[in-house]
Amino acid sequence: MHEVLLDDECGGELIELTPRCPKCRSPRVESRHLARRFGGAIGAIVGTTGGVAAALAGAEIGFLGGPIGALLGVTAGVVIDGIVGGAAGCAAGSRLGDGIDRNILHNRLCRDCGHAFSDRA
Ligand SMILES: [Zn+2]
């Protein structure tokens, strides 16, 4: 499975104070953002899917106005709703994942000793 690179496209990196490794006190600690990346990717997929589904539902109504109207409605609706839904879903998912990273997962990884730890250990 290839990595979905949505992290920097929806909100960017948060400025964070870098903690020190609780094991070796090294400042060379990196954030893994596991849940945040996962949440952003899932959110984008769900948001895009939801947006497209909403656009297609609107298109069914559009058929009542004739095939040309439906075609225009589908094209514009899918593109716009997909983009808006994807961006909103990505942002929401990233925010949710960020909270999970901070509170639940071992989000920090020491580059010197490889020790993984949480922000609120
Ligand atoms: Zn360490």
Q: Is residue 26 part of a domain?
A: no
Q: Which residue has the higher pLDDT, 39 or 114?
A: 114
Ligand 1 centroid distance, CA of 44 (Å): 34
Q: Cβ distance 30 to 101 under 8 Å? A: no
Contacts of 55 (CB under 8 A, 6+ apart): 73, 74, 77, 78, 80, 81, 82
Ligand 1 centroid distance, CA of 118 (Å): 13
| Residue type at 33 in one-letter notation | H
Q: Is residue 19 part of a domain?
A: no
Q: Which two tokens stand for residue 15?
A: 């400025």
Closest residue by Cα to residue 39 from 90, 2, 86: 90
- pLDDT digits over 65-98, tens only? 666 666 776 677 777 777 888 888 888 888 877 7
| Residue 111 main-chain phi, psi, to 5 deg | -80, -15
Number of domains in the chain: 1
The pLDDT of residue 38 is: 78
Q: Which of the 8 DSSP states describes residue 63? A: G
The pLDDT of residue 111 is: 93
Predicted model pTM: 0.47
Q: Is residue 56 part of a domain?
A: yes
- pLDDT digits over 12-67, tens only? 444 456 678 999 999 998 887 777 787 888 888 887 877 777 777 766 666 656 66
Ligand 1 centroid distance, CA of 119 (Å): 14
Q: Which residues surround ligand 1, an ion (CB under 5 A)?
A: 21, 23-24, 26, 110, 112-113, 115
